[in-house]
Amino acid sequence: MGHTIALVTLVVRDYDEAIAFFTAALRFTVIEDTPLGNGKRWVVVAPPESRGAALLLARAAAPEQATHVGDQTGGRVAFFLHTDDFWDDYRQMQAHGVCFAEAARGGLRPGGRVL
């Protein structure tokens, strides 16, 4: 069997806040939400019908982890989302409070449209 990346961990402030964001703004689906005890949960979200990696939403368990929420890649782009309708998804995200660092560049770039 070949290797694939199944999950990428994303440290979040709060499970339910993160689930609400990913399901409303990005239209992701909750794949699993299993209580693990002591307030921990195994929460996995992914784009609908995705066959690629999913996100494991992990609540920050210590102050040093909490400092990385929202900046887990040191200011670099964390994820690249493929979509069938760029502008529809862009408007959906804006409608749900997603703030983009710059306006969408209308033209195609190598690899697709870029925000």
Q: Is residue 67 part of a domain?
A: no
Residue 111's pLDDT is: 61
Q: Is residue 75 part of a domain?
A: no
User: Residues 66-80: what's their mean pLDDT?
Assistant: 84
> What's the gap between Cα 97 and its chain centre?
14
Q: Is residue 74 part of a domain?
A: no
Q: For the chain, how many structural domains are there in total?
A: 2
* % of the chain beyond a pLDDT of 90: 49
Distance (Å, rounded) from C-alpha 80 to C-alpha 2?
Answer: 23
- 10: CB partners within 8 A, 6+ apart: 18, 55, 56, 57, 58, 72, 78
Residue 45's pLDDT is: 98
Residue 25, domain CATH: 3.10.180.10
Q: Is residue 104 part of a domain?
A: yes
Residue 17's pLDDT is: 96
Residue 90 · residue 106 · CB < 8 Å: no
Report the predicted TM-score, pTM, of the whole model to 2 decimal places.
0.83
- 106: CB partners within 8 A, 6+ apart: 113
Domain assignment of residue 23, given as a range: 1-62
- For the stretch 15-38, pLDDT in tens is 999 999 999 999 999 999 999 999
Residue 108's pLDDT is: 62
Q: Is residue 48 part of a domain?
A: yes
